[in-house]
Amino acid sequence: VQKKVKLQKVLDYRHMMLEREKAKLGELMHQEQLMTGEIQKMTALITDKFSEMSESQQAGDFSFTEMYEKYLRKLAVERRQKQQELAEHRKLVHQQKGHTVDAFRKKSIMDKLEGKHKKAYSFFMDQQELKNIEDIVLTRKAAKVAKGEEDD
């Protein structure tokens, strides 16, 4: 009984750890999606500003060309920084996936141990029940022999 309680506590702990790792992974993946969305918005903004600059140059207005170029360089630098952050974040996501898989493996091992423990316990109880039945039969037979009755 004591082993069963300890096994159940370990199983509950493994389950809790698996859920915690899944939650962390979900949060990291959500952050990754947000970062990807920001990069896509920045790319769209760069494309729009570049087309505005091209239109103004085609119209013959070169007064804002330098300002557009500086702004586009600034946006490009920010986008590269965001892409580097995203690459680092993806490494964290990959690492967290490993932790989650490890937690899942540990939990499944404990589930298998619990199943084996239940099988061993039921086998033990079956043996005990057979011993008890055998003892009852032997006791009745001994009582009949003591009374002088014979059982054929």
Phi then psi dihedrals of residue 59, to 5 deg: -75, -10
Cα gap 47→53, rounded to integer Å: 10
132: exposed, middle or buried (C-beta count within 10 Å: 0-12, 13-18, 19+)? exposed
User: Are 11 and 109 contacting, i.e. CB atoms less than 8 angstroms apart?
Assistant: no
On whether the pTM is more than 0.85, the answer is no
List, for residues 89-143, the tens digit of each pLDDT value.
999 999 999 999 999 998 888 888 777 777 776 777 778 888 888 888 888 888 8
- Which amino acid makes up residue 7? L
